[in-house]
């Protein structure tokens, strides 16, 4: 193993224009790299399934009204339960948003958006971030990568990607060993019994740090404001945790 610093930050796909809190994490990681050297790793948690994560929140260029844009989903099962790396982009969605986008973004963003070639939500977001120049010289590690999953440590709380209703869904492995889909409130849908392998497993929020660190082996981690409220930093005493630099309107889309 190299002794150089490994500066990591993590994030789900957070809109086809990334939210400003992700931009702040990237900028913080670059600042730390200038100070101590090393390399930067983006842990791209594209195993998440929540469609709210990919909302792109923008202001109209004239008037300033706020608008929320999101991907169109093929069906209800895919929208609610399919992980972001497998959520398919509906034909015509990109063309439709391209026509709307000049109301909210400049020519650079519109051109990049039109140039994206991707068939899934996570791939689209990642390619857009690259085309905007945000990920230059940054290593991306994806939580959906089967090799990453197979190399990661075992955790006690996790999700399993399985087939349901002709879609890939992210089912919660519950304490009784049964896989269930959360339907809201106290309602859960139990899936038929089946076996699974490590390449189908992704961590929950509370086990993600340890799972990620077993693969990334970072020395420094850039944590968002919300992350610092639930991360169990004692699990990884070898890591120096750094709060991301402040940024205004952190929930809004980064719009150069």
Please, what are the averages of pLDDT over each run of 10 residues along the chain (256 residues)?
A: 87 97 98 98 97 96 93 94 97 96 96 97 98 98 98 97 96 94 94 92 96 98 90 94 96 93
Q: What is the DSSP letter of 37?
A: -
Task: Point out which residues pair with 184 in neighbouring strands.
Answer: 187
Q: What is the pTM of this model?
A: 0.95
Distances (CA, A) of 231 to 66, 155, 165, 204, 217: 32, 15, 34, 12, 16
pLDDT of residue 3: 82
**Chain segment 29-45, per-residue pLDDT in tens:** 999 999 999 999 999 99
Residue 98 to residues 16, 84, 197: CA-CA distances in angstroms?
A: 12, 21, 40
CA distance 17 to 129: 7
| SS3 call for 245 | coil
pLDDT-above-70 percentage for the chain: 99
Chain centroid offset of residue 56 CA:
13
């Amino acid at each position: 193993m190299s002794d150089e610093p490994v500066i990591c930050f993590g994030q789900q796909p957070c809109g086809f224009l990334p939210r400003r809190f992700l931009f702040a994490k990237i900028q913080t990681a670059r600042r730390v790299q200038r100070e101590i050297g090393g390399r930067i790793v983006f842990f791209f948690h594209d195993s998440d399934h929540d469609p709210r994560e990919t909302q792109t929140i923008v202001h109209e260029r004239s008037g300033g009204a706020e608008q929320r844009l999101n991907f169109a989903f093929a069906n209800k099962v895919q929208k609610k339960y399919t992980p972001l790396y497998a959520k398919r982009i509906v034909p015509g969605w990109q063309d439709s948003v391209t026509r709307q986008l000049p109301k909210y973004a400049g020519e650079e963003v519109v051109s990049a958006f039109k140039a994206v070639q991707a068939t899934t939500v996570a791939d689209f977001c990642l390619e857009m971030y690259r085309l905007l120049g945000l990920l230059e010289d940054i290593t991306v590690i994806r939580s959906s990568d089967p090799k990453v999953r197979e190399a990661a440590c075992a955790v006690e709380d996790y999700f399993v990607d399985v087939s349901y209703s002709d879609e890939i869904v992210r089912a919660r492995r519950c304490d009784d060993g049964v896989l269930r889909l959360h339907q809201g409130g106290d309602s859960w849908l139990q899936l038929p019994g089946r076996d699974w392998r490590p390449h189908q497993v992704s961590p929950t929020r509370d086990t993600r740090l340890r799972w990620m660190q077993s693969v990334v082996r970072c020395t420094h981690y850039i944590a968002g404001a919300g992350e610092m409220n639930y991360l169990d930093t004692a699990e990884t005493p070898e890591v120096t945790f750094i709060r991301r630099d402040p940024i205004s309107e952190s929930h809004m889309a980064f719009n150069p």
